[in-house]
Structure 1
Amino acid sequence: MMTIAQPGPVRSGLVEWPHRVLKPVLRRRLGRRWDVHVTGLDHVPPAGPVILASNHVGWLDGPVTVITSDRAVHALVKHESFEGGAGRLLRLGAQIKLHRGRTDAAAVRTALRVLRAGQVLLVYPEGKRGDGLVHEVFGGAAYLALSTGSPVVPVAVIGTREPGADIESKPSSGQRVDVVYGRPLTFAAAPWPRDAGSIAAASDRIADALRAHVQWATDTLQRDLPGPPPQQDTFA
C-alpha cells in the first residue's frame, strides 16, 4: 500500500492538508472501480520542486495521477472543470484553474508559486487530450522549468480512455490503468530574460523525453494507447 509523504508546512505555497486527509478515501474508491498500477514513483524526488509532465488521453488522467502520488500534486486544470461538485473538490485540493488558448498570467504565477515553494506541479505539455503519443508540445513546461530550475519527470498514463471513446468518458469498471514515471530531466535555472531559443530547446528536450517514455511504457507493459478520440479536444 502506498503512503503519503508528509513534509513540513509550506508557508508560501498552496495548501496541502486536504491531500493528506482525502487521499486514503479517494484511493480506496479508485481501487474499487479500476485496477490501478503505479510504477516508477522512486523517480519522483521526495522533496523540493518537481514538474510532472504527462501525456493526456482522457478525463481520468489527472485524478488518477494526483490521487496515487506520494506527494501532494497541484495540476493545471482547464477552467471549465471548476463547476459543480468536481469544481469544489478541485478547489479544496488547490488545483490550478487554467484558461487555455491564451497566456493565462494568473495560472502561470500560481504555478511558479508552487514550484518556488518546493511543491509538485502536474502539467500536460500538449495542452489537450489526444491519442497519448505526444505530438505538438507547447513551451509552458519548459518556461516553468527554466524559471525555477525544477526537474521534469515524464509520466505515461495508459488505460484511462478506451479505443473510440469520447474524451470525457471513463474506462469500464475493472479496466487496468497504469501510471508510469520516468527518470527526471534536470534543468538549471536560467536568468531573466529567458530567450525564445532556450525555451524552444528545453521544450524539445521535454517533448522527446516524454515521447520516448510513453513508447517505452507501452512496449514494456505490452499495452496500447486508445488512438484519437472521435471528439477532438480544443482550446475553445
Structure 2
Amino acid sequence: MAEVEFDRGWSDRGRRIGNRLVKTGYRAKALHPERVPVTGPVIIVSNHTGFLDGPVVFCLAPRTVHFLVKKSYFKSVWGKVLTGVGQIPIEQRTGDREALAAAKSLLAQGYAVGIFPEGTRGSGTVETAHQGAAWLALQTGAQIIPTATLGTRGTGSGRESWPKPGARLRVVFGEAFALPDYTGVPGRQKLALATEEIRERLARQVSAAVVETGLVLPSDAPPPPSN
C-alpha cells in the first residue's frame, strides 16, 4: 500500500499558519466546525468552484486534512509546501490508483482526507460526482463530512480567478454520516449507489449553506457588460 510521507508537526503548524494568513487576506470563517470528528478516519467532501477551495478548507478545518491535489501543482512553486503538509498528488485523468491507495492508508491510520467529488472547478452545484470518495468510504468505513465552500470565486469570474482581498469566504461543514451497508448489492452497483448518496448529500449541504450564509454560487457565464 502506498504511503504519504509528511511531518505531522509541520503539517499541523502549516494549517495553523495558513489559518492566520487566510483570515488576514479575507473575511474567512468556518461554520459548524464541531461537526467534524476530532479523531478517527474522516473524508471531507467539498464542492469545487475556485482555485482557493482546497487551501481555504485546509486552513479553516478544525483538524489537518490531506487533500487529493492535482499532480501538476506539485511541480509548481507550491510543490514543497504541498508535500510538507501531507497533500496527496493525483493524476485525475487516469483515476490514479496510487493516490487512492495513499488516501486509504491515511484513513486507516485515523487521519482526515479531503476530496472534491466533482473533480474539477465549476458552478459548485454538485450535479455530477466521481467515485473516489465513495470507494474510500466503502473500503475504510470512514465518516463523511459534506462541506460547502463559498466565496472563493466571484459570480461571473473565470475558473482561474481569485476572490478580491477582504472578500467573505465561508466553509460550512455538514453533519457527519456513514454509508449504508448495501448488503447483497454487487460491487459496481454498490459503488454507484454510494457515489450518488455522497453527491446528493453534498448538493443538499451546498444549497443549505447558500441559504445560511447569503453567499451565492458563481456562474460560468461572463458578467453582463456595463452600460
For normalisation by structure 1, the TM-score amounts to 0.87
CA deviations on 1:160-185 (whole Å, 9 max, x unpaired) are 00122222221000000000000112
Q: Which residue of 2 aligns with 1:228?
A: 220
Determine the structure 2 residue equivalent to 1:172.
164
- Secondary structure (helix, strand or coil) at the match of 1:63 reads helix
Q: Which residue of 1 aligns with 2:26?
A: 34
Say if 2:83 is the partner of 1:91: yes
- Report the aligned-residue RMSD: 2.1
Q: Deviations over 1:34-73 (max 9, x none)?
A: 0001111111111000000000000110001101112111
Q: 1:78 is matched with which residue?
A: 70
Given the superposition, is the C-alpha separation of residues 85 and 56 from structure 1 closer, same or farther in structure 2, using an over 3 Å criterion?
A: same
Taking only the aligned residue pairs, the percentage that are identical comes to 32
**Per-residue deviation, residues 134-180 of structure 1 (Å, max 9, x unmatched):** 11111111110000001110000000001222222210000000000
Are the aligned partners of 1:16 and 1:72 in contact in 2 as well (CA < 8 Å)? Answer: no
State the match for 2:13 in structure 1.
21
**In structure 2, distance between residues paired with 1:84 and 1:13:** 19
Q: In structure 1, how many angstroms separate the alpha carbons of the residues matched to 2:146 and 2:208? A: 11
2:114 corresponds to? 122
Q: Does 1:161 align with 2:161?
A: no
Q: Tell me the residue number matched to 2:209.
A: 217
Q: Does 1:208 align with 2:200?
A: yes
- TM-score normalized with structure 2 length: 0.90
* C-alpha separation in 2, matches of 1:86 and 1:183: 32
Is 1:107 matched up with 2:137?
no
Deviation at 1:114, TM superposition (A): 0.9
Give 3-state SS (helix, strand or coil) of 1:118's partner.
coil
Is the CA contact 2:7–2:85 (under 8 Å) kept in the aligned structure 1?
Answer: yes
The amino acid that maps onto 2:15 is K
- Which one-letter code corresponds to 1:40 in the other structure? H
Distance, in Å, in 2 between the alignment partners of 1:36 and 1:194 is 43
Give me the whole-angstrom Cα distance separating, in 1, the residues matched to 2:78 and 2:188: 37
**Residues 137 and 202 (structure 1), Cα distance of their counterparts in 2 relative to 1, 3 Å cut:** same
Question: Does the CA-based 8 Å contact 2:27-2:168 persist in structure 1?
Answer: yes
Count of equivalent residues: 219
Hey, what does 1:136 align to over in structure 2?
Answer: 128
* Structure 2 residues not aligned, in runs of 5+: 223-227
Q: Secondary structure at the match of 1:115?
A: helix
